[in-house]
Chain A
Amino acid sequence: MPTTSYRQALNDTLRAELTRDENVFLLGEEIGIFEGSYKITAGLLKEFGPERVRDTPIAEEGFVGAAIGAAMLGMRPVVEIMTLNFSLVAIDQIVNHAAKIYGMFGGQTPVPMVIRFPGGGGQQLAATHSQNLEVWYAHVPGLKVVAPSTPADAKALLTAAIRDDDPVIFLENLSLYNTKGEVPDGEQIAEIGKAAVVKEGSDLTVITYSRGTVIALETARQLEDEGISVEVVDLRSLRPLDRETFCASVRKTSRAVVLEDDWLSYGIGAEISASLMEGAFDYLDAPVGRVAAAEVPLPYAKALEVAALPDASDLVRVIREVLDDTSFSR
């Protein structure tokens, strides 16, 4: 299987979908001449022209909303927002409009659109440019929210998102763009709403998504050498949430740790913990562990940034705590 980067997988998929369906078009700031803030749209302007690879003014509310209206008339816009942080000025259009139009108007007009943006901190971009607010969107009925962690999923989930008739928030991550992986040739369409057990194990389940999956897999491999068998569930879809997959995993392993990039309170780990109470209560041998970001506006200074963001060492520590809680012996 060919190996490619997450960035290239996104670029290839956009190209393939632009080629396949004339109703697909891209819009966003600096996606044309500049080729995207993170170069995801490199080369596409040249291939498809300025109508279909459309540079917008700095007006997130305006162009996200324009994508909604175009989608209502049958186009399939794929919006790029430079980073998740800037989606906040478009949140009225995303939450009050994109998410509502199909249901609130009685199912008359679908809104087939994708909004792509990277989340994530760790690049010393300071508080306003480093946020993980995916749970804000995952909270909202009417949206679908997907978060691929590998180049293969980037391709298959983006293809699915573009062909889906609902507004899909497509969460990328700054630290994943250069990661590489095998990507199958030909058309790949993921099923939105399904998590994946990306590594099997028997002692403990780590439930995570996006960047966290990379960390969890790496951690699981290390712990394997110590005789600790970690199962990793990659959520892939934050809305809908595939509770059955992670509950089934925890019913098998009896222990769970959530690794999330968002802030702890009210976060994804809170939702997963509550779901495990419902779906795996009697099977749990220890309280669910949560590894999330420290609850501060993320500081610029490297030492503080590192301290605030969850990383592999935090995950290993919490895994050990949960194992120790249950007198685990290898």
Chain B
Amino acid sequence: MTDQAAPVTAGSQAAGSFPGNEPPEVLIGYYREMVLIRKFELTADQMYKRAKIGGYCHLNLGEEATVVGLMAALQEKDYLFTNYRDHGYALSRGMDPGRVMAELFGKSTGVAKGRGGSMHLFDTQTRMLGGYGIVGGQLPPATGAALALTFRGKPGPDAEAVMCQMGDGTTNIGAFHESLNIAAIWNLPIVYVIVNNRLGMGTTVEAASGEPLLYKRGASYRMPGERVDGNDVVAVRDAATAALDRARVDRQPGLLEVMSFRLRGHSVVDPARYRSAADVEEAQAADPVPAFRAQLLAAGVFTEEQAVQIEDDATEKVASAVAFADSSPAPTPDELFDFAYATPVANAPQALPGQPAAAREPRL
């Protein structure tokens, strides 16, 4: 571990040899995912303003390279836990955009049947086990998922592993420290990923963290910490892949800090007036989507027409996601108690507001 202010693992993008040995179709695939997330999030923002989406809604705008790089490292057999800023992860993990949008719309066809909303995307098929709205809440369960893996499999290159994503602000809550400690003493196959977008709501990392070099926080648990440029999709993928490999093969838990930017407010309703013009400018200058596009064009990985085609495809996909969500049925009140318990139980409450809890006996 180095003591530099901001050591950044260089990937092929930064190395000046872009695209290096990266097959064009892989890079194009990353761009396709990044664009899908970008369009999805911009549309979610609109849909929120049209009151199709309720509650809190946090977007991955500006974090597309981070999300796609992380998900490229994660294998199908691995498990993912994230915070509430989860739309991009769900899409990259392979959830159907229509079902993700339907969840945002609170429809029965949503990935969580309309019970969770934007912050709580979940799908056992793609092994994304939530979307968690309580800051730090995902860390203990993710750690326990890694514990379960130690019961059911041996370490090795083909072993399953867990990735647990969080924000920079989350490294200050107790659950972070308890979880990293537990993962360390029990040698759990898990990689904790801090998406450092420099802000927790309006609070900067420096204002909130005794050690603002967040990757160093692993040191308390003898956990390797590493920082990587979150706008470099290949670098993110490689760093995450290496950390996951250590988790698989050596059961060495890891901490990866991914330096990213939040392009907009904390959530769709936040105008982010607390941000300085310079800060906003820096974030916009670093916007990974146009940057990656330009890079791919310059390197001759794709042509302008192909890029436009990818963008049109994404627009099309998101439009049909909206159409699907819009035309999907909303859950009805008779379904209210459907998922009260996994094991049915005597006397489970079924009263609606104003209804008695105990069966009323006829008056004497």
Contact = CB atoms under 8 A, between A and B. Distances in A.
Contacts of A241: 347, 357
Interface stretch (B143-151, B195-203, B253-261, B268-276): B143-151
A123 interface: no
Given A65-B175, A72-B129, A103-B115, A59 B347 contact: no
B182 A110 contact: no
Interface stretch (B106-114, B234-242, B311-319): B106-114
B142 interface: yes
A265 B341 CA distance: 29
A107 B338 contact: yes
B130 A101 contact: yes
A105 B122 contact: yes
A97 B134 contact: yes
Interface residues of B, number: 59
A62 to B, nearest CB: 3
Interface string A52-76: 0000110101111111111111110
Given A102-B342, A166-B342, A72 B348 contact: no
Contacts of B349: 141, 240
Interface in A116-171: 141-142, 144, 164-166
Interface in B90-134: 110-116, 120, 122-124, 129-132, 134
A97 B124 contact: no
Contacts of A73: 79, 144-145, 148-149, 152
Nearest to A68: B141
A104 B145 contact: no
B346 A96 contact: no
A105 B347 contact: no
A226 interface: no
Nearest to B134: A96
A108 B179 CA distance: 24
B285 interface: no
B140 A65 contact: yes
B297 to A, nearest CB: 41
A276 B361 CA distance: 10
Given A279-B360, A282-B363, A240 B140 contact: no
Contacts of B145: 69-70, 72-73
B17 interface: no
B137 interface: yes
A92 interface: yes
Interface in A11-65: 23, 25, 51, 56-57, 59, 61-65
B141 A62 contact: no
B116 A62 contact: no
Interface in B134-190: 134, 137, 139-152, 174-175, 178-179, 181-182, 185
A193 B149 contact: no
Contact of A104 (B120, B147, B148, B149): B120
Contacts of A57: 178, 181-182, 185
Contacts of B343: 110, 164-166
Nearest to A165: B342
A191 to B, nearest CB: 6
B116 A93 contact: no
Contacts of B114: 106
A289 to B, nearest CB: 18
A180 interface: no
A180 B44 CA distance: 62
A283 B361 contact: yes
A188 interface: no
A251 B116 contact: no
Contacts of A166: 341-343, 345
Given A57-B182, A101-B130, A106 B116 contact: yes
B323 interface: no
Nearest to B341: A166
A306 B113 CA distance: 52
A244 interface: yes
A4 interface: no
B172 to A, nearest CB: 14
Interface in B216-248: none
Choose among B116, B134, B148 the residue with the greatest number of A CB atoms under 10 Å from its CB. B148
22 contacts: A62-B143, A72-B141, A93-B141, A96-B134, A97-B134, A102-B342, A103-B339, A104-B112, A106-B110, A107-B342, A108-B122, A165-B341, A166-B342, A191-B346, A193-B345, A243-B347, A243-B357, A244-B359, A247-B359, A275-B357, A278-B358, A279-B358
Given A68-B144, A106-B116, 20 more contacts: A61-B140, A61-B175, A65-B143, A69-B81, A69-B129, A73-B149, A75-B147, A77-B144, A93-B137, A103-B339, A104-B120, A105-B131, A108-B123, A111-B342, A241-B357, A242-B347, A243-B358, A244-B358, A274-B357, A282-B364
Closest 9 CB pairs of A and B: A65-B140, A69-B144, A62-B178, A106-B113, A66-B144, A69-B141, A279-B358, A193-B346, A110-B342
Interface of B: 79, 81, 110-116, 120, 122-124, 129-132, 134, 137, 139-152, 174-175, 178-179, 181-182, 185, 338-343, 345-349, 356-361, 363-364
